[in-house]
Structure formats: structure tokens, C-alpha cells
A and B are shown apart, each in its own frame.
Chain A
Amino acid sequence: MTSSRANDAHLIEFLTDLFGPSRVLCRPHQLAAYECDGYVAQTGLPRAVVFPETTDEVAQVVRYLHEHEVPFLPRGAGTGLSGGAMPRNGEVVISLVRMNKLLRVDFDNLRAVVQPGHVNLQLTRKISAQGYYYAPDPSSQSVCTIGGNLAENAGGSHCLKYGVTTNHIVAAKVVLPTGDVVDIGAEFGDALGYDLLGLVVGSEGTLGIATEITVKILKKPEAVRTALAMFDTVADAADTVTDIIGAGIIPAAIEMMDQLAMQAVDKSNYHVGYPKDIEAVLLIEVDGMAAGLEDVAAEIVHICHKHNVRTVKVAASDEERALWWSSRKMAFGATGRISPDYIVQDGVIPRTKLSQVMARIQQLSEESGLRIANVFHAGDGNLHPLICYDSRVPGQTELATRVGSEILKACVDAGGSITGEHGVGVEKIEEMRYMFDDTDLAAQAAVRQVFNPADLCNAGKLIPKPARCAEVKHMQRLIEQHAEVFRDLEDQTLTLRS
């Protein structure tokens, strides 16, 4: 189906005319690399991939696609973990990675303007010599784009103190799904009218394509102290987190990893050497004015000791601190060392429910027989259980998906949410119904309708369609019920064939 569509001569002719052949991928075999993003459990071939270089080019292609009713979606670095940049309707993928310029920096007013394909960490690199940085730091910051961050309202280790992406974006130029170009937000002060920027940030590419983004930059803190604390039990580590925050300290970050996650990174190039018999490690960072920071660090060490810490150590050098951070930031990818496949979940819970939800995760792991590694932004109560599975074993992908879904439900039941920072995408679209009722979803769908009237821009992501969703659920139940019968049938056909 997709390949015959890909031959859609008019479309390809238009795209090639607009972009030149070197900026269009359209032969079926050239498209496989765009079949999925960081979430690999579902894939779909795009119809074509184009690489615009200006807002005007994005607007032109979107206008054409809108007029001709061709579905499309924006894509940054494709590190999304919920399938947001995965084509499921034979979309034209609008890749923004070539729009990667830093357009302007205004150090005095703490603003920078970037194109959407600008890589997050590169911005800090480019302004750090002057003593500035860009605060939101998803673990994928060395690759993910600021456009993708905007769409996912990305978080990061330091968002405990500094806030998530939405707190750092002040304005954006957006190509609407109809091809119109609008400026939303305000470089300074509060924008008048509805908070459209607030709406677009975190809309997962369903309300338009950001082509120019104005962000806040910050002066680098005078000093930083980073501690690594190892605990025999998750409960002790969890209590430490609560106590630190209770003591009135607002750390720049508090990250936690469990034993399985430690094992995974320790097998990688980012080896720290964690003891094999501890349950949890905390990475705690404080920053700010140099004066007094030493005392805060000492207070943190003291609190760790109150909760039976095995060892706690403040980084002695920049190298040591960098290694601890890489070890945390590479934990997802390093899970490949211990498992052929994994699904990262992204649930949020009230911090005080950590031990309880952890116990439930442990229980799910035992019931399903799937190992689950855990990495948390502990300060925010943002959990990342990494469900390990092997897609080559029949049924395991589905099992892992189910376990993920159960974990999310446990988070919601504990008073939390189904996503902290990775977005809903296609991955958690069913769980949206667990969180919201039909009226809530209808209100959201109505907003989408205004911006994206033909639903061509990243259709099928974020908001389940009430009716279809019920249908899908019904189908799923049917399939599950009859799976045995299907399998038997398949076996029989195979025997007949051979």
C-alpha cells in the first residue's frame, strides 16, 4: 500500500521540484531508516522524507500536503520514546535536522533564537565560553533537538530546580497544519490573548511545526557540588530524597538507579564500578553561589548518613562528576548490554509513594518473568522502569507492553500520571483513557480540530479517538481471546504448506 502511494508521481514531482532530488527520499528502500524513533515496538514506513531548510519551505510543503490531503509529520532527531515521530499512516516525514542554526543570542537579555533542528546540548556548548547555558537537559541532550524538546515538553535531570522545557521557551514561529505561519508567545513579558505557546509546547507535533524557537538562557551557577550515595535498600534511598527536600534544600538534581540499571551501565564504556550488593544509588547535585554551597553539600551527606547510606562521596574532580553523569544519562542505552530489547516507561508518582509503587513494579516483574531496571528523576517522582524483553521470543513484545501498561496504571492509582516527559505518542495512547474520561478527551480533541482541521499532521498520536479507541480495545480483546485458535490455525497452515 505504502509503496504504491510512494509512487504518487505528482507528490514526488512537487517535492523534488521544491527541494531538489538531494533533499527528498522517496524510493521505498530508502525509507526504512525512518520507520520508527527511539520506540521500536511499532513501526511504519513513511511515504517520503524531505529536508527543508527554511520556514518558507516548511510552509510551502505543508500547504501542498494539506491541499492534497496527504498526511505528514515533523521529525527531529528521532529519539522520542513514545513513537511520536513514527509514521503510521504513510506520512511524508518533514525532517528538521538541517534547520539547525543558532540564529541569535542576546546575552544581556538572556535569550537565544534557534532553528528547530538545533541540538539541545550544542546550544550550551556554543554559549558556555561566555558563561551561559540552556537548562533543560534530557538525558538525550547530546542528540535530541530543541524542536523535539518543545513538542514533547522534555524534562531532564535538572528540571527539579529549573523546570521543564515549557519554562524555558518564550516564543516560537509555527507552521500550522494548514500551511499558515504564526508567531506565538512573546520574547519578553507575557503574550496577550490565549496562551497558545503553552498549548503548542508538549503537543507532540499535532498542532503545527515549530520552525524558530526563542529560549531563555541562564548564567552558569558559580559552583556545583555533586554527591554519589549508595544504599542497601530502595526505601532508605527514597527516604533520603524526601528528607533532603524536606530540609528546605532544592537540589539541582536527584537521580536514582537500581541495581539492574547499575549493572547495565557498568558493562558499558561509562563504567563507574557500583557494588553488586546495593539496591539503589543516588546522584545528588546542588548548585548556586559558591558561598555556603559546601555547607549544603555537607548537610546532604549528613542526611544520607541518617538513612543508613553505605557510602557517600562528593565528586573530587570534573572528570569524576562527568563520569557519574554519563553513567546516569547513558543508562537507557546501556540496557542493550543486558537485554536485546526494552521499553522505557515514564510514569509520575507523588514522591512519597515511591516505595509502594516500586514494590508493585517488582511484583509485576516477578509475575511476568521480565526483568525491570529502574532509573528515576527521584526528586520529581518521575519513574523510568526499563522493561527488558526479547522481541524474537513470540509473545514477549506484547507481554512487555502489557506490563508497561500495568505500571502506568499503578502510577495513576497512586495519584500520579502516565507520562512525566516522554509524551504519549502511540505508546501510551490507550492509557490516556485510563486517566481521562470521554469529556476530557473530547475537549482536547476539539482544540486539535481548530489547529489541525483535517487531522493530517501527526494523526493518531496523543489523543485517542473516543469511538475508534473503543473499537480497538474490543478488537484487542477479541484477538486475545482467540489467539489460541489463530495460533492453531497458523500451525496447520504451515504444516499444510510444507
Chain B
Amino acid sequence: MQEPNSAFLWPDAPEADKYSVCVHCGFCLEVCPTYQQLGDENHSPRGRVYLIKQAAEGVLPLDESVVDPVFTCLDCRACETVCPSGVQVGALIEEARGQVFHAAPARGWKGLIQRFFLRAVFPKPRRLKLLAGLLRFYQRSGLQRWVRKLRLLAVLPKHLREMEAILPKVPDRRAIDALPPEIPATGSTDKGVAGLFTGCVMDVFFADVNQATARVAARNGWRVRVPKDQLCCGALQVHAGDRDMARQMARRNIDVFLASGADRIIINAAGCGAALKEYPALFRDDPVYREKAEQFSARVRDISELLVESGFEPPQGEVPRTIAYHDACHLCHAQQVRTQPRTLLGAIPGLCLVEMADSDRCCGSAGIYNLTHPEMAGALLERKMDDLPDGIDGVAMGNPGCMMQLMVGAHRRQADVEILHTVELLDLAYQREEVGTR
């Protein structure tokens, strides 16, 4: 299938069908955050697709000239939203990264992060739990205070120091451990079973958001099941090019959720949601799992999507706040979920929703991009912070990576804005009605 001299020597390579769709019109240039930043066509969608094509055709080797642009891509998919020709830039980038991963696993910082987190921690539930525990211990035992006092963190690069500074307080228990296996529907109707995907980062740092998601779904007529043997979704592995590991994890998730009897699989993290919806692409050459993956993906819904699609009860409790909404890339560009979160927020009494400029431009978080490409990520974060409208007291969004990134931004500027998940605000509105407003 590949050209005879293709630089892509391993299975699962970028397909000619995908890159040849690009007609070089250039409409994607202006929405690409890395092109906006650098003005270099090598770092534009059109350029990246062209380089991938050249490598596939054996004109270019798989050297820095291809690898660098492919890894500097945020995988934010803004280009896919505008592309009139329908080029799947994200898939091409991920497949090309797969080739690089085979050819030369990353070294240095990036390699360390990849090996440690992507192979040793996230795919292993027990280690993930242990990590959460360690973090909790670090924060609660006073160790964090000492480390900061003694300036032990000085050895870390600046962006990691900043990360450490904002690390949200790790909740006592992850939702996957704390939630019962099934939560009965509390609303009047029975809409069926919703399997809750708890995720890794979300559940370590934002277990509350998972709890809120479960409550809100139940409140709106869903029986919520929480399969205990699910794994992290594998999105970070796909983004890094580690497609084999991602497939291992995906297989388990597919089996577990299909067996759980869930009519819908709900998720509150945009990156994970996109990955779950794109499982079929991972198994395009696997006769058994391709079909299972399709069944699985057809059921996946972002929580905001689920609520708007199946109907939700407008909350009665008031949340008098002024909130901006940031469109997480994997929600708006990869999943085309834009209006639903705004509909939910708009339904909350007392909440004033303010649109911000370029709300769908990437904040620079992009999985672990902010760790591997701190300069670009930092520049994009600055732009995002500049775009926050005056007079807001919070920013809502639907992705844990963006939440942490914006927390860094707020911390850096000493800005008095709370970073929130959309569902947290909705949940709060429901809770307030139970107690009676306030």
C-alpha cells in the first residue's frame, strides 16, 4: 500500500487516501495556532500534510524536518473545522507520530515523560492510584510546604515549577473508588443506563467533576454505572505516537463498557471523549475489534451532549456569577460540541455567560504538550489569558488539561478567576434548588 521508498516503514502508516485529499488551498493557515505564532508553513496544517505526503512518497526522510513539525502540532484540530476538503489532519498527525515512535522513541525530558507516564503509570490502574496517593501525601503532609520553602524545586524547568504551584488539591478519593457501581436515577423518567468513564487526570485531580457528572446524569433520568475495571482512554498515548499501548487500553475499555450494558457512555473530558469516539480508527486493520469499537463509539457522548440530546431539567437554583466559556479543542473541533455546553450554562438562573474572543483557539495545554513544548504552550496561554473578558469571575470548560493550563495562567497573572468545569456549575444549580436557593 505504501510507496516503495516510503519513509514510513511500520504498520499503521498515514494513508494516501487521507493526505491526498488536501488541495493546498490554504484556508487552514489562519486558524492554526502554531502557524499564527511562527508564520512558518512547515508549522501549518497544509505544510504538515505536505511533509507527511512527501515522507510517505519517499521524497523526504523521516528526519527532523518532518518530525519537528509533526510534534509541534497541538493536535487541536482547528484546521479540520475550516478545511473545506475534509482533510483529517489529526489522524494523519497521530499516524505519523506512530511512525516516529517506532523509528526513534523520544529521549530526554520528553522521553522520560513518555515512558514514565504513558507506559508505566496511566495504563496501570494500581500505579495511577498510587500516584494519586503520593501526590495527596505530598500536598497534605506538609512536604509540599517544605519543598517549596527550601527551594528544592529550583532544579525543575520553569514551566514544571509553575505546574507544581497550581496543582489542584488532590481530592481524598478518586471517583472510581468512591462512587458505587450503580447510582439509581433520581429524576422522574428512566432513560436507560449511562456508563461513566472516569478518566485518569480528571479522576486524580478533579474527582469532584466526576462526582458532579454522575449526580447530574442521575438527576436527569439516567442510571449511572461505573465499571471498576476500566482504564485510562489512551488519548495521550495516541498523541505521543504509542499506538500499540493505546490499542491495549482501548481493547479493555471496549470490552468492559460493552459488557456493562451501558446504552450511553458518558465522559466529561474533551480529549478522552474524542479518543473514545475515534477508537475505530485505531482498529482499522483489526477485523474483530473494529466492529466492537464502532459499537462502543456510537454510544459515547460528552456529558453536555448527552443532556441536550436526551433532554435535561432546567435547574431552579441560582448561581449568580459572570462566566466566560472556553471551547476545549477536542470538544469543539474534534467532536463538534459547541452549543450544548452553552445551552447548559444558559439554563442556569442568575448565571451571566460572556462570550470571549477566539474562544475556540487552543490554550496550549494539548495533552502533555505544555510539558514537551513549554515555549509554544506558554505563548498560547498568554494569548488565551489576554482574551478573557473583563468583569468575569470564572471560566468554564470541558477538559481537565485546559483546566490545569488556565489555572497556571491565572496563577501567573494573579488573576481572580475561578477555573471550572461546565458540569460543576450545573450541578451547583441543582444542589441549590434542593436546599432552596442559597
Residues of A within 8 A of B (CB): 25, 27, 29-30, 32-38, 40, 49, 51, 77-79, 95, 97-98, 100, 117, 119, 140, 142-144, 265, 267-270, 330-337, 340-342, 392
Decide if B295 is an interface residue (CB 8 Å cutoff). Answer: no
Cross-interface CB contact of A79 among B26, B47, B66, B87, cutoff 8 Å: B26
Q: How far is the CB of B330 from chain A (nearest CB, A)?
A: 17
Residues of the A chain whose Cβ atoms lie less than 8 Å from the Cβ of B263: none
A483 to B54, CA, bound (A): 27
Asked if A33 and B27 sit within 8 Å, CB to CB, the answer is no
11 residue pairs from A and B, CB less than 8 Å apart: A25-B40, A33-B42, A38-B25, A40-B24, A140-B25, A332-B23, A333-B25, A333-B85, A334-B85, A336-B21, A336-B23
Q: How far is the CB of B24 from chain A (nearest CB, A)?
A: 5
Q: How far is the CB of B215 from chain A (nearest CB, A)?
A: 35
Quick one: which of B31-88 are within 8 Å of A by CB? 39-42, 44, 46-47, 50-51, 54, 59-61, 63-66, 81-87
Residues of B within 8 A of A (CB): 20-27, 29-30, 39-42, 44, 46-47, 50-51, 54, 59-61, 63-66, 81-87
Q: How far is the CB of B329 from chain A (nearest CB, A)?
A: 16
Asked if A342 and B30 sit within 8 Å, CB to CB, the answer is no
Residues of the A chain whose Cβ atoms lie less than 8 Å from the Cβ of B47: 33
A117 to B22, CA, bound (A): 24
Given known contacts A265-B84, A269-B84, A32 and B27 CB-to-CB distance under 8 angstroms: no
Q: How far is the CB of B167 from chain A (nearest CB, A)?
A: 33
Residues of the A chain whose Cβ atoms lie less than 8 Å from the Cβ of B85: 268, 333-337
A121's closest neighbor in chain B, by CB? B30
A77-B29, A140-B27, A269-B81 provided; 11 other pairs, C-beta below 8 A? A25-B42, A30-B42, A35-B50, A38-B25, A95-B39, A142-B27, A270-B84, A332-B84, A334-B84, A336-B84, A336-B87
Q: How far is the CB of A300 from chain B (nearest CB, A)?
A: 28
Residues of the A chain whose Cβ atoms lie less than 8 Å from the Cβ of B65: 27, 29-30, 32
Q: Which of A32, A37, A38 has the most CB of B within 10 A?
A: A32
Residues of the B chain whose Cβ atoms lie less than 8 Å from the Cβ of A30: 42, 65
Given known contacts A32-B60, A34-B41, A143 and B30 CB-to-CB distance under 8 angstroms: yes
A265 to B29, CA, bound (A): 20
Residues of the A chain whose Cβ atoms lie less than 8 Å from the Cβ of B30: 77, 119, 142-143
Asked if B20 and A340 sit within 8 Å, CB to CB, the answer is yes
Interchain residue pairs A-B with the least CB separation, the first 5: A336-B85, A333-B84, A29-B65, A33-B47, A330-B84
Cross-interface CB contact of A332 among B22, B25, B40, cutoff 8 Å: B25
Q: Which of B29, B50, B60, B85 has the most CB of A within 10 A?
A: B85
Q: How far is the CB of B335 from chain A (nearest CB, A)?
A: 14
Cross-interface CB contact of B60 among A29, A37, A142, A342, cutoff 8 Å: A29
Q: How far is the CB of B2 from chain A (nearest CB, A)?
A: 14
B53's closest neighbor in chain A, by CB? A32
Given known contacts A33-B42, A79-B25, A342-B23, A336 and B63 CB-to-CB distance under 8 angstroms: no
